[in-house]
Structures are given as structure tokens and as C-alpha cells.
Amino acid sequence: MKRHGEARWHESEWHGNPCVVLPDVAVMRSNLPIGQGRGEFKLMEREAGASETGSELGDDIATLSRILAVQTEIGKVGLDIDEVMALAAERSQMLTKANGAIVELADGEELVYRAGSGAAAGHVGTRISAAACLSGLCLRTGEVLRSDETRTDPRVNQELCRQVGLRSMIVVPLVYGGRTFGILKVFSPRPRRFGDREVRTLQLLAGLVGAAMGHAAEHQARLVLLDERTRAVEALRRSEERLTQQLGLTRQLNRRLERANTQLAEIARTDVLTGLRNRRHFDEALDGGCSLMARRGEPVSVVLVDVDEFKRHNDTHGHQAGDEALRTVAAALQGCARRHDTVARFGGEEFALILLGADESAAATLAERLRLAVEAGPWTESPVTASFGVATAWPGCITPLELVKKADEALYLSKRRGRNRVTCHEHSGSEIGV
């Protein structure tokens, strides 16, 4: 792809779009494998480079393969926004062969360097005014901008560019939820260093990074990368009409994207430490379960579990032992629960179960089995026990939120009565256990 010498690159179909738009021809021709992590990224570069023919199509295939490798790496990083930004800077520099790369976030009237790679690595924390620099203009307009020669470009902070020896750069907006919140920038000490290919590569990366950072910041239920993959699939379908001979390769890429979606969805609903479902999944499952049982006219029970004196265990044996204790409790709960029960980490040392179709008697019986399983766990440091609170709701009686509140009240009674016991809400404060 030829470079051009214009001082500013205007977006066309790429403008303001935070989602990934994959090059049609490149997607249809690509049959390169997706990288599996940071350690495999350089290997992916070598494999992609070996397949290039020197043509624009070969370059696009190689670029797409590297972008997909970065996409997989971002998915593995998960909700750690600092890791996402560090990865974005590192991969931006590598893919554009820049001298350095920076992730800048808006903070009032300033832009703050939050992550850097290459020549920018030592400048993390630097603050610059957004009023008189190319990044600030990008932040205000939402446009992808390129400066081929900073010494003659009035849009840039020329004094700062001279100080760091910066002669050319690309700045791309980071967008989430229709709002531009930061900038992804690469730069070089050489003038006219970047062309359209680097602009397009950086914008693809910015789409991935913006979505991942927005998701990490809000911790919301939805996966923001789903829209990017939907757009990618649509681009593949349009390309299929023009390159029908590559249909098999297109289907292979679709399957890889679907697996990535499934993995990201699983990560978003799983507690990293214990492997159980997380609080977000519990809330969604409880709402859905109550609605289902209401239609069937059957009860729903909730069991809340709190590890007894967990802070003292942590303080005595250390946080690693505390983490291991939580994993052991989680395994005991999961092992005793019924196949269709939902077992989740509720927060900290608390766990929760949703028992669909279980009345108070069935729920209390299961809770007692759970209590005994925790008590009998393979404890090496010191014995660990847990307290249980059980609450049951029949259709039309209480809301899911009220059901959890009643289970919490029963759990409080178990703790107050000496711990390591099961208490059911109401019915004379009935309890089971030692």
C-alpha cells in the first residue's frame, strides 16, 4: 500500500467507529493461525511474514493475523485495565514499526500518558495540555490524524516534539459508548514514517483497545467486543460474494471468532480465584430462575455461605493460604450441589447457591450436606468451617432481592449463634448443625 505525504489523514468509512472493521480482501484470504498469548506473538509475526508475497493482499493477511493475535491477548488480559493499556502500547509499536507508542487518557483539560512502549516507556505519568497538540485535536474531533512532518505542522506542539526528537506521528481516538476518552499514538524520529497501512492498523488496534478498556472500567454485564465481531462477520460475508474460492478459509475464521466470543463470555461470568460463577452471573441466574419457577408454580431457595473467621485464618497463615482455603470451600460446595444448581462466589469469603424447585426442607437438607463437606475438607493449616443461611420463596411472595435479604438475615443468625451451622429464615428461626 503506497504512503502519501499529506499532513492530515481524514477518515472515511473508519471515522468515529470504535469497532473493528476488518479489511475485506485480507479477511477472505487469511488462513494464518491466531496467536495464543504474548509469548506467541513474535512467533505469529514470523509465521505471517513467511507467508507474505510482497503484494498488498499478502500484507493485509499478515496484518489481520497479527491483529487477531492481539485480540486474543486482550481477551486473556480480562479486566485489568493497566495490562490492557500496556499491551496496546507494546503491540501498537510493534505492528507499525514505530519508535514508540503511548496510550493517553483525558483528564479535564489535560491528557495523561498512562502507558508507553519503546521511546515512550519512561514518560508514563506525563501530563500535557489538550488545547495545543495533535492528540487534543483528535480528542475533540474524534478523527484519526497523521502528521508527516511535525516541524511544519501547526497542529502539533512543536516545542515538545523538538525536545523529544519526534518528526512524524499517528493519533487515533479511543472510543467507548460513543465517547472519546483517550488517544492511542505512535511516533517516529523520521519524517513521513507512516502511511495508510499503519493508519489502518492503528485504528484496528484502537477499536479493540477502546472496547476492552471501557469494559474493564464499567464492569458491566455485556461484552463490548461482541459488536466488533459481528461487524467482522458481516465484512466476511460481503467479501465472500467477491472471493467465493476462499469460502473454506472464511468459515475457518468464523469458527475462530465464535470460539473467542465463547471464551470471553465465560471469562466475564467466572470468578478467577475459585472457578465458580461470579456475582454478576448469580444475579442474572436468580432473576431468570425466579421467573421460570413462577411459571411452573414451584419454589426457589437461596443459600448464602460465609467462611467462619476467615480474616483470622488469613492473618495467621497468609493470603496464599487464605486463597487456597477459598478454593477448597468452593470445591466442596460445587461437589455437593445438584447438577442444575447454581454455585457462585458472592464476594470476599461469601458464596451463594440458587436451588430451583427446592422447598425449605430440601434446601436445608442440602445446606447441611454442604456444611459437613466444608468441615471435612482436606485442611492442612487449620480446620475451616462455614455458616449457612437459607431462605425459600414461592411464586408471588417476594422478589429475588428480598429472597437474598432473607437468606442474609438467616446467615447472620448462624454467625451470631456460634457459626458452623445452618439457619433457615422464619419458621421460628429453625436451625440445623452443631
Q: What is the pLDDT of residue 265?
A: 72
The mean pLDDT value of the chain amounts to 81
Q: What is the pLDDT of residue 1?
A: 39
| Full pLDDT tens readout for the chain, 434 residues | 333 333 333 333 333 333 333 333 333 333 333 333 444 444 444 544 444 445 666 667 777 788 888 888 877 877 788 898 999 999 999 999 999 999 999 999 999 999 999 998 888 998 999 998 999 999 999 999 999 999 999 999 988 888 888 999 999 999 998 899 999 999 999 999 999 999 999 988 888 888 888 887 775 434 444 666 778 778 767 867 777 777 676 677 778 877 777 777 768 889 999 999 999 999 999 999 999 999 999 999 999 999 999 999 999 999 999 999 999 999 999 999 999 999 999 999 999 999 999 999 999 999 999 999 999 989 887 899 999 999 999 988 889 999 999 999 999 999 999 999 999 997 433 444 33
Closest CA to 227 of 203, 257, 267: 257
Q: What is the pLDDT of residue 250?
A: 64
Task: Write down the pTM of the prediction.
Answer: 0.42
Q: What is the pLDDT of residue 217?
A: 73
Q: What is the pLDDT of residue 165?
A: 84
Q: What is the pLDDT of residue 182?
A: 93
Give per-residue pLDDT as tens, 239-289.
677 777 776 766 777 788 777 777 777 688 899 999 999 999 999 999 999
Q: What is the pLDDT of residue 39?
A: 45
Give per-residue pLDDT as tens, 163-207.
888 999 999 999 998 899 999 999 999 999 999 999 999 988 888
